Structure 1
Amino acid sequence: MPLPRIGVVIVTMGTRPVELRALLASVERQDVPATRVVLVGNATPLTACDVAPNVVKVPLDDNLGCPGGRNVGLRELRASGDVDVVIELDDDGLLIADDVFRTVQELFAADARLGITGFRVADPQGHTERRWVPRLRADDPMRRGLVTAFLGGGHAFSMPMLDEIGLWPAEFFFGHEESDLAWRALDAGWKILYEPELVLQHPRTSPARHAVHYRFTARNRVWLARRRLPAPLVPVYLGVWISLTLARIRSVPGLKAWCGGFVEGMRTPCGPREPMKWRTVWRMTRLGRPPIL
């Protein structure tokens, strides 16, 4: 069986030029070259960014958010017809090993139902935060295995999987788009593998650094439940997260933004409702994370 051809999508707003240059250099250093690399500029012209010959620059007039920008890159790769697996990377990430693409090729070649491979994210000191481990029992970031989630900062997708389940939910703009895509993949019978040997170096940051974090987190979590969960689980899921949020948030402005986003999520259209099958609920439960957490 031939090894899959690798494509890469990177979305940037042009605010991290030093980090982006380092990331592009780490992509070029891979011992298996990417067939095609797409650099999407969210509301940035990309004129000051020098790139290798195999990099396609797609400047956008508007900021489409992370999922919307990635969809532009995915459509570019799909139209090319020469990519089987796409790797998406945050523009402030860095590939510290030169065999990442080769390892990704081998993983997808070995399992035709592998839909998503999640990378291990580590800070420059090599530490992986608990929230970066895509399972509830996050004490051991080196434990490899099938999971129900992945990190958006570094991962690989099967293009046949995307052809079947669709692309990112662009309307989410920021927050929980990974969960929506992961749940669709699992419901269609695809596997999600967490592979800690695939490392994306990433600075230790808080998602709350984004001004819209609390609002979009709440709104998109409600949308996610309305779109993807069987009806009996919707109030359970939202009730669990209301309780967790009240216990965790220490900022009054943050709590107000979160409550506003929750109300927005209940009142506004969330897109087509396609709830997962009950057998997917059971599958996720057996993998260690039922879709109420």
Structure 2
Amino acid sequence: MGKDKKKFTIIITTKNRKEELFFTLEKIKILLDREDVVCIVCDDGSTDGTFEEIKINFPKIQLIQNPKSQGLIYSRNRLMNRVQTEFTISIDDDLHFLSETPLEKISAFFERHPQAGILGFRIFWGLQEPHFQKTTERPVQVKSFVGCAHVWRMKAWKEVPDYPSWFVFYGEEDFAAFQLFKKGWEIHYLPQILVHHRVDVKARKQQSDYQIRLRRSLRSGWYLYFLFYPFLTIPKKVLYTLWIQIKTKMAKGDWIATMAIAQAVFDVIFNFPKLLKQSNRLTTKEYHAILKLPPAKIYWKPEDEK
């Protein structure tokens, strides 16, 4: 089957997580073997032999490599800009599909909704698969999407700027969501596709990268205010989120979080000229319209556990 027959590209970014990646690739092998699917993996400077072992064990996969680590967002941009198919499914290296026939469901939804630029999936976070997988949730248009599991209509990708690689990690999804909204594209949540993100969320705070994750999460939120929000709304938003961090973390003696907050404030000050230069501000009408949309559906729990 020629390239013109390919319809889906699955993209994955990875770095020094060979076991997780190989587990994922085995789980989605039935998709990788399809004639209408291309898979591209970006090895972001791994030192554990990831690149070489993928070449040996998964010869059909297209591989690109950053000799030196450049970060998640830079790598996603490289992957997205190599895609030649109609749709691109982006998943993390520690995530796999639980639902059957996901590609057929994706294709059918996009066909029914021509203004849909991105679809987000129903995501279960946990080390073990959920014992109950059914849901009564229905598809809904949402404000944003989750980076670990979503699919782009490539026509929409080509109409908006690349992800902001200078964010490094966090915030690129909301950046894309605002850009899509300005162009008239929609983002939808499709709960009929369930994926398993093999992550222990509660343990993250105890992990060594807690400080850097918090720093990047906070600054990306503030970056987005300055890039997209109407000027008059920005001071209130920034001050409120800063107060919440002081109240819930600094006041309780979380010194790691305190350092992360201070660093995030410095990052915003340092990048302020760039934020003004690259802004694509919502009009007041657009701002109120986007506020009416529900937020991204991030965490799903089995209905018998709610």
Fold match, TM over 0.5? yes
CA, structure 1 residues 21+204, in 2 after alignment: closer, same or farther (shift >3 Å)? closer
CA, structure 1 residues 4+238, in 2 after alignment: closer, same or farther (shift >3 Å)? farther
Q: Counterpart of 1:228 in structure 2: which amino acid?
A: F
- Determine which of 65, 70, 73 is the counterpart of 2:76: 70
Structure 1 residue 26, shift from structure 2 partner: 2.9
Contact 1:222 1:238 in 2 (8 A): yes
- In 2, Cα distance between equivalents of 1:4 and 1:113: 22
Cross-structure match for 2:62: 56
- In 2, Cα distance between equivalents of 1:26 and 1:59: 23
Contact 2:230 2:284 in 1 (8 A): yes
- Determine which of 244, 253, 258 is the counterpart of 1:255: 258
Contact 2:12 2:90 in 1 (8 A): yes
Contact 1:10 1:38 in 2 (8 A): yes
Secondary structure at 2:188's aligned position in 1?
strand
Structure 1 residue 102, shift from structure 2 partner: 1.6
Secondary structure at 1:21's aligned position in 2?
helix
- In 2, Cα distance between equivalents of 1:245 and 1:84: 42
Secondary structure at 2:192's aligned position in 1?
strand
- In 1, Cα distance between equivalents of 2:109 and 2:60: 24
CA, structure 1 residues 8+109, in 2 after alignment: closer, same or farther (shift >3 Å)? same
Alignment map for 1:102-117 (pairs within 5 Å): 102-117=104-119
Secondary structure at 1:275's aligned position in 2?
coil
Contact 1:229 1:275 in 2 (8 A): yes
CA, structure 1 residues 98+127, in 2 after alignment: closer, same or farther (shift >3 Å)? closer
Alignment map for 1:168-187 (pairs within 5 Å): 168-187=163-182
Cross-structure match for 1:231: 231
After superposition, the C-alpha distances for 1:35-87 in whole angstroms (9 at most, x for unaligned) are 3111000112611224544410101112221111111111111xxx3x01100
- In 2, Cα distance between equivalents of 1:181 and 1:76: 18
Q: Counterpart of 2:113 in structure 1: which amino acid?
A: D
Contact 2:6 2:35 in 1 (8 A): no
Count matched residues.
273
- In 2, Cα distance between equivalents of 1:70 and 1:157: 12
Cross-structure match for 1:133: none
- In 1, Cα distance between equivalents of 2:39 and 2:294: 35
Cross-structure match for 2:183: 188
Secondary structure at 1:246's aligned position in 2?
helix
Cross-structure match for 1:241: 241
Task: With the length of structure 2 as denominator, give the TM-score of the two structures.
Answer: 0.81
Cross-structure match for 2:51: 46
Larger Rg: 2
- In 2, Cα distance between equivalents of 1:105 and 1:32: 15
Task: With the length of structure 1 as denominator, give the TM-score of the two structures.
Answer: 0.84
Contact 1:8 1:34 in 2 (8 A): no
Secondary structure at 2:81's aligned position in 1?
helix
Cross-structure match for 1:274: 280
CA, structure 1 residues 91+7, in 2 after alignment: closer, same or farther (shift >3 Å)? same
After superposition, the C-alpha distances for 1:9-37 in whole angstroms (9 at most, x for unaligned) are 1000032x222112112332139655311
Secondary structure at 2:45's aligned position in 1?
coil
- In 2, Cα distance between equivalents of 1:127 and 1:66: 31
* Larger helix percent: 2
* Structure 1 gap segments, 5+ residues each: 129-139
Q: Give yes or no for the alignment of 1:213 onto 2:213.
A: yes
Cross-structure match for 1:132: none
- In 1, Cα distance between equivalents of 2:13 and 2:130: 24
- Determine which of 163, 168, 184 is the counterpart of 2:158: 163
Structure 1 residue 89, shift from structure 2 partner: 0.3
Cross-structure match for 2:198: 203
Structure 1 residue 151, shift from structure 2 partner: 0.8
Contact 2:102 2:193 in 1 (8 A): yes
